[in-house]
Amino acid sequence: MKPESLVGVTRLEDQGLKHLKAALFNLPPAALVEQSIERSEAILSNSGAVIVNTGQFTGRSPNDKFVIQHNTAQDDEIWWGKVNVPMPEEAFDRLHQKMLAYLQGRTVYVKDMMVGAHPDYKLPIRVITEKAWQALFSHDLFIRPTAEEQAKHTPEYTILVCPDFQADPKVDGTRSSTFILVNFQKKLVLIGGTHYAGEIKKSVFTVMNYEMPRQGVLSMHCSANVGVKGDVALFFGLSGTGKTTLSSSPDRQLIGDDEHGWSDTSIFNFEGGCYAKAIRLKPELEPLIWDACQRFGSVLENVDYDADSRKIDFDSERFTENTRGAYPLDYVTNHVESGYAGHPENIFFLSADAFGVLPPISRLTPDQAMYYFLSGYTSKLAGTEKDLGSEPQATFSTCFGAPFLPLHPGRYADLLGEKIQKHQVRVWLINTGWSGGAYGTGSRIKLPYTRAMIRAALNGDLDNVAMQKDPYFGLSVPVSCPDVPDEMLLPHMLWKDTAAYEKQARGLISRFEDNFKQFAQQVPVEVVKAGPHNP
């Protein structure tokens, strides 16, 4: 298909897109790779993966996200505040019209995709972008419709992406020239001023976090896999805590690496691909991700390479720590083709503790599970968001995904609590962060140890092991774990300076207490008591 082709342009007229140079619908990956290279948007690596540089923005811009306020009863559902900053509908409409005018005379790439693998919850979406590589990214990340589905595809939500278009904050009511605007009433998302494709992915996740709970489905920021016996496991955590790495296991089938729903019948993936951190990727530690990132049609964001050989340098952080690989789920050899499976037997909350005081593994009571889910403690790692420095920052991200929650956290917590109780799910807190000292002094917990602890929990090897109480957090920690040194299990045993450990532990406990004050009046007193408390 020639770039000048106007095939399908009339289908966009009802969405306000007129006088386009070209509207290229649902090009296959090979054509999108060609377009990306011809337009100098990307280069082709020696393995066939596409490499792109997103320029100034190598992570999300959470402070530039707005939710449109309509002054109707629908607004009452939104969790207004720092996460969901309101924008008047009039301002949204003006900026929308400016984007439509900007696109006149330009080529756009249209991908009609699906979100939600379970047939009862599939949501048709449309991504319209001025960049061929972002259309390829959308093809990789979302669920590809069957020929029958595509023939009758009518998008419920549209994501309009103009990376080179910039807002005028003084005129448009934005914080900067970058904007991510979510309009639930018009079912339209506008993204501009940033080339980082993660904004597309997470905007769609925000949509699912709005739509699914209203249908009784718990939407979750987690990865999921299933064992040979049909036992499902979920891995909650923010970017960089290990969701993709720990769920991509050669001896278990991958359901998905980041976003899922939990209905009355199953766990199901929202996406059709993976968006893995690629920094310092090693084939011996993460073979499935390594192989997938080397395939033709995969998109590598901000990954360095040798200009002559086009060989990828995954160890380089020249552009950012937040290098990424996007690839279709079927590039993972042992994925679950349907995208869904049964109810989980184990849930893992992943926290990259930069203070080095949380145990590497502990089993949570139901009340503790609710406390740590609402707390969502971790450390944001370098590069995952704009303006983050080189050192991790301690953060509390409600439900392990606060930036993407349009509804009040209680909606998600109540659904999780009900499902844990109904299905008698074991819940574990896993520290994938530091041990033997805080960041800069201690060391990152080795991946083989974390894998061994996950494996032991999944195999039931810890069910009959005696538990010991962590002296500061009151967590139940196994006294031993196969393939893990015993001294690893209680953090204070690895610190050379006991007083320094106590200071860090009490400091983190104070942070937990301060953060949880916002929920103290909304949850049972048993949940409040289940958290750590300083004397």
Mind telling me the catalytic residues?
A: 60, 202, 221, 239, 243-244, 258, 324
457 with 348: CB under 8 angstroms?
yes
Cα(49)–Cα(207) distance, integer angstroms: 29
Contacts of 98 (CB under 8 A, 6+ apart): 165, 172
Instruction: Please report how many Cα atoms fall inside a 13 Å half-sphere around the Cα of residue 125, on the Cβ side.
Output: 34
Nearest to 182 by CA among 340, 377, 404, 504: 404
What span, in angstroms and rounded, lies between the C-alpha atoms of 107 and 164? Answer: 13
Contact criterion met (CB below 8 Å) for 317 and 390: no
Whether residue 430 contacts residue 348, with contact meaning beta carbons closer than 8 Å, is answered with yes
Decide: 221 and 204 in contact? Cβ < 8 Å: no
Cα(392)–Cα(442) distance, integer angstroms: 13
CB contact at 8 A, 256 and 248: no
Number of residues written out for the chain: 535
* Residue 219 near residue 261, CB atoms below 8 Å: yes
In this structure, the number of other CB atoms found within 10 A of the CB of residue 264 comes to 10
Q: Count of alpha carbons within 13 Å of 188, Cβ hemisphere only?
A: 14
For 97, the token pair is: 């019209």
C-alpha distance across the termini of the chain, in Å = 70
Residue with tokens 């054509």: 31
